[in-house]
Amino acid sequence: MIDTSFLQHLGLSEKEAHVYTTMLSLGNATVLEISRKAEINRTTIYPLIESLRVKGLINIAYEGLKRRFVANDPQVLKQLWEKQTFAAEKNIDQLQNMYGKGKQQTNIEIYEGLTALKAVYESLVRDIQTGEDYCIISNPEEWMAADEAYFLNFTKRRAQRNINIRLLLEDTSLSDFYIKNQKRMNMQVKILPKSISFETNMVITPQKMLIHQITKPVSGIVIYNQSTIKMQMQIFDVLWNTL
């Protein structure tokens, strides 16, 4: 039995902690399924789910037109605790072992807020395999401005992976920096025409595609559908080869 009392130090109520850990073991689920598994009536479960969503711990997932809910990777808990000292590592690792068990594959997941998006970026570099493609279409200045310290660190860690990183960038002053340092940063870079202007950042890997709205309110859509990913990768290749 996992001790979830540490979640209350992160601002969760006892019932919220119970619902979150229940959802980790469920994977994506309906309100009714969560209610039954957690043994909490539906009237009470709705505000608990909404509160967890606002805190960046769960997100909405769609299967066709049916709305379901899915727990975020427990690594997001570390973001909530980044400025405090607390012995949470063991508990988070235990929750990590639960993550994904029984999780059903969904086509689309929706994320809201920068904390939730950071967890998505972490999953992108964690799940990609050696030698695979990591393709980006981006306005690098807007992307970096969201949290410069985090994204600089993320870029350095991404560069350490043995993967094929290709960037199609909006023409900005920061793009010149990427061009000059592409070998050191383990990437290939091409610049799009000056007429192009983005409010979203797109990342395509064999596992998933992220569409990240970099202007406020920050949000993201993650697509797992393999046919869509393949098509977007082909479109990326066409753009890449024409520049």
pLDDT digits (tens, 9 = 90+) for 30-40: 989 999 999 99
- Average pLDDT of every residue of the chain: 88
The domains located in the chain, with CATH, are: 5-106 (1.10.10.10), 110-242 (3.30.870.10)
Q: How confident is the model at residue 224 (pLDDT cuts 50, 70, 90)?
A: very high
- pLDDT recorded at residue 139: 93
- pLDDT recorded at residue 36: 92
Mean pLDDT within 202-215: 95
Q: How confident is the model at residue 83 (pLDDT cuts 50, 70, 90)?
A: very low
What does 179-191 look like in DSSP terms, one character per residue?
A: HHTTTTTT-EEEE
Q: How confident is the model at residue 105 (pLDDT cuts 50, 70, 90)?
A: low
Q: Are 107 and 63 in contact (CB under 8 A)?
A: yes
The single-letter code of the amino acid at 219 is S
Its pTM stands at: 0.66
- pLDDT recorded at residue 86: 47
Q: Are 42 and 131 in contact (CB under 8 A)?
A: no
Q: Among 7-21, 117-131, 132-146, which stretch is predicted with the lowest mean pLDDT?
A: 7-21
11-31: burial string, b at 16+ Cβ within 10 Å, e else: ebeeebbbbbbbbbbbbbbee
- pLDDT recorded at residue 212: 96
- How much of the chain exceeds pLDDT 90, in percent? 61
Q: Are 179 and 167 in contact (CB under 8 A)?
A: no
- pLDDT recorded at residue 15: 92
- pLDDT recorded at residue 173: 87
pLDDT higher than threshold 80 for residue 100: no
Nearest CA to 4 among 95, 108, 101?
Answer: 95
* Helix and strand counts by DSSP (H, E) for the chain: 10, 9
- pLDDT recorded at residue 106: 60
Mean pLDDT within 218-226: 93
Mean pLDDT within 159-186: 93
CA 187 to chain centre: 21
